[in-house]
Chain A
Amino acid sequence: MPLQSLDIRRRSATTTPSPAARAAATPEVAKLIDTSKCIGCKACQTACMEWNDLRDEIGTTTGVYDNPRDLTPQSWTVMRFSEYENPKGDLEWLIRKDGCMHCEDPGCLKACPAPGAIVQYANGIVDFHEENCIGCGYCVTGCPFDVPRISKRDHKAYKCTLCSDRVAVGLEPACVKACPTGAISYGTKEQMTHDAAERVVDLKSRGFEQAGLYDPAGVGGTHVMYVLHHADQPGLYSGLAAKPTVSPMVRLWKGATKPLALGTMVLVALAGFLNYVRVGPNETRDEDEDQAEREKEQTHV
Chain B
Amino acid sequence: MTNHWVDIKNADVVLIMGGNAAEAHPCGFKWVIEAKAHNKAKLIVIDPRFTRSASVADLYLPIRAGTDIVLLGALINELLSKDQVQREYVTNYTDLTFIVREDYGFVDGLYSGYDESKRKYDRTSWDYERGPDGFVKADPTLAHPRCVYNLLKEHYARYTPELVERVCGTPKAKFLEAAALIGSTSTTTRAMTIMYALGWTQHSTGSQIIRTAAMVQLLLGNIGVAGGGMNALRGHSNIQGLTDLGLMSNLLPGYLTLPGQAEQDFDAYITARAPKALRPNQMSYWQNYGKFHVSLMKAWWGDAATEQNHWGFDYLPKLDKMYDMLQVYELMADGKMNGYICQGFNPLAAAPNKAKMTEGFSKLKFLVVMDPLATETSEFWKNFGEHHDVDSSKIQTEVFRLPTSCFAEEDGALTNSSRWLQWHWKGADPPGEARTDIAIMAGLYTRLRRLYEADGGAFPDPIVKLSWPYARREEPSPEELAREYSGRALADLYDPKDKTKLIRKAGEQLSGFGELRDDGTTSSGCWIFCGAWTEAGNLMARRDNSDPTGIGQTRNWAWAWPANRRVLYNRASCDPAGKPYNRARSLVAWNGKAWGGADVPDFKADEDPAQGMGPFIMNPEGVARFFARGGMADGPFPEHYEPFENPLGYNPLHPKEPRATSNPAARVFKRDREAFGTADAFPCVATTYRLTEHFHYWTKHVRLNAIMQPEQLVEIGEVHAKELGIRAGDRVKVSSNRGFIRAVAVVTKRIRPMTIEGKPVHTVGVPIHWGFKGLAKPGFLANTLTPVVGDANTQTPEFKAFLVKVEKA
Touch between A and B in complex, CB under 8 Å? yes
Give 5 new A-B contacts, CB below 8 A, not counting A39-B52, A59-B710: A41-B26, A60-B744, A60-B777, A181-B33, A183-B33
- 17 inter-chain pairs at a CB distance below 8 angstroms, sorted by A residue, are A38-B56, A39-B56, A42-B692, A55-B703, A56-B707, A58-B775, A60-B710, A61-B712, A63-B730, A63-B747, A64-B746, A67-B710, A83-B749, A91-B750, A181-B33, A182-B34, A202-B37
Find chain A residues with CB under 8 A from B55 CB.
Answer: 39-40, 92-93, 95
Q: A164 contacts the other chain (Cβ, under 8 Å)? A: no
Residue of A nearest to B743 (CB): A61
A180 touches which of B29, B705, B713, B727 (Cβ 8 Å): B29
Chain A interfacial residues counted at CB < 8 A: 40
Residue of B nearest to A49 (CB): B704
CA distance A38 to B56 in the complex (A): 7
Q: A12 contacts the other chain (Cβ, under 8 Å)? A: no
Contacts of A167-202 to chain B: CB distance below 8 A: 180-183, 199, 202
Find chain A residues with CB under 8 A from B40 CB.
Answer: 202, 205
Indicate the member of B22, B33, B55, B745 with the most A CB atoms within 10 Å: B55
CB distance from A172 to the nearest CB of B (A): 16
B708 touches which of A36, A46, A182, A199 (Cβ 8 Å): A46
The answer to whether B704 touches A41 (Cβ under 8 A) is no
B23 touches which of A41, A57, A63, A205 (Cβ 8 Å): A41
**Contact-size category for B:** 35 or more
CB distance from A36 to the nearest CB of B (A): 7
| CB contact under 8 A between A180 and B26, given known A39-B52, A91-B750 | yes
Q: B139 contacts the other chain (Cβ, under 8 Å)? A: no
Residue of B nearest to A90 (CB): B60
Find chain B residues with CB under 8 A from A199 CB.
Answer: 37
Indicate the member of B704, B713, B728, B744 with the most A CB atoms within 10 Å: B704
Residues of B within 8 A of A (CB): 22-23, 26-27, 29-30, 33-34, 36-37, 40, 50, 52-56, 58, 60, 692-693, 703-713, 727-730, 744-750, 775-777
Residues of A within 8 A of B (CB): 36-43, 45-46, 49-50, 55-65, 67-68, 83, 85, 90-93, 95, 180-183, 199, 202, 205-206
The answer to whether B30 touches A61 (Cβ under 8 A) is no
| CB contact under 8 A between A58 and B777, given known A64-B728, A181-B30 | yes
Find chain B residues with CB under 8 A from A205 CB.
Answer: 40
CA distance A64 to B729 in the complex (A): 8
CA distance A2 to B555 in the complex (A): 46
A40 touches which of B30, B52, B728 (Cβ 8 Å): B52
Find chain B residues with CB under 8 A from A92 CB.
Answer: 55
B56 touches which of A37, A57, A61, A64 (Cβ 8 Å): A37
The answer to whether B745 touches A41 (Cβ under 8 A) is no
CA distance A57 to B706 in the complex (A): 9
The answer to whether A63 touches B708 (Cβ under 8 A) is no
| CB contact under 8 A between A50 and B704, given known A39-B55, A83-B748, A91-B50 | yes
Find chain A residues with CB under 8 A from B52 CB.
Answer: 39-41, 93
Find chain B residues with CB under 8 A from A40 CB.
Answer: 52, 55, 692
CA distance A39 to B24 in the complex (A): 11
Find chain B residues with CB under 8 A from A90 CB.
Answer: 60
A39 touches which of B26, B60, B705, B777 (Cβ 8 Å): B26
Residue of A nearest to B709 (CB): A67
CB distance from B29 to the nearest CB of A (A): 6
The answer to whether A61 touches B22 (Cβ under 8 A) is no
Residue of B nearest to A50 (CB): B704
CA distance A37 to B710 in the complex (A): 25
Find chain B residues with CB under 8 A from A58 CB.
Answer: 703, 706-707, 710, 775-777
The answer to whether B26 touches A43 (Cβ under 8 A) is yes
The answer to whether A63 touches B749 (Cβ under 8 A) is no
